[in-house]
Amino acid sequence: MEFKDYYKILGVEKTATLEQIKSAYKKLAMQYHPDKNPNNKESENKFKEINEAYQVLSDPEKRSKYDNLNSSWSTFNQSGNKTSDFNWKEWFAGRQPEPQIDDFGFESTGFSDFFSKIFGSKFKQSKFSDFKYPPKKGENIHLDVTLSLEEAFKGTTKKININGEIIQVKFKPGINDGQTLKVSGKGKSGKYGGSAGDLIIKTTIRPDPVFTRQGNDLYMNATIDLYKAILGGTININTFTGKIKLKIPPETQPDKVFKLKGMGISVYGDYSKRGDLYVSIKIILPKNLSTIEKEYFHKLQTLQNN
């Protein structure tokens, strides 16, 4: 029968504490665990070997018996005796363990002949020994969501299907293009008791046909005719909050910009703070003038020159 050097298998000294033994075992178990090495017979056998070593060295009663055997075996070997002459039966346990299906589906005790004969059926293999993988958080799920500029202005709620589950995600007013939101626990399931991952949503703001956004400010163009530009008046402007009236002073020049304070997009997370709305005036010149209209313009030109 082959002697098993359990200290060497775990890579620890004979004086190792229980904590050192546990630490060495967990490190090796994580490396050779069947979950990480599927269909790998060598890793499977290595895992069984370190599992067996841990079963002995982590148990005070088993370790005490093993240390005594180890000492006797070392003394016997150093005396130049033949290995075959060693009295193993002196160390045998009573009844031997019966074959059983272990955690990996292998029909055996999961232990070596050395373990079975020395420790017998008094000690039973625990499930994966005392080893447990540390909890591992599930992977995040990444998703792109496109919003209109009006939805970014007002805020909105979207229904999103994640793995068959419908969840509602709230997008606050002022959300920015490229901004990400995290919905905790809606990602992939964790492993070994770990928490689920998160849902990471990247927001894209679709270009608007009327308004352009810069930070929290909005920009738009408003067209007026030549007469209103010269004489002044009032125009209606459609905004995300409804229609407003904008007063046009007489002799307003092309590309004149009016600033409407506090009518832009709110600061994300603080609806009390908002950007401004900038309205750039575009003037439409009259077309298809009649002869009389042209004469009046000539008269105006003459008056302007004089």
The pLDDT, as a whole number, for residue 44 is 85
Residues 171-224: tens digit of each pLDDT? 999 999 999 999 999 999 988 788 999 999 999 999 999 999 999 999 999 999
Nearest-angstrom CA–CA distance, 93 and 15? 25
Q: Average pLDDT of 60-78? A: 90
The pLDDT, as a whole number, for residue 89 is 84
Contact between 238 and 218 (Cβ < 8 Å): no
Question: Is residue 120 predicted with pLDDT exceeding 70?
Answer: yes
Question: Is residue 166 predicted with pLDDT exceeding 60?
Answer: yes
Residue 113, number of CB atoms within 10 A of its CB:
12
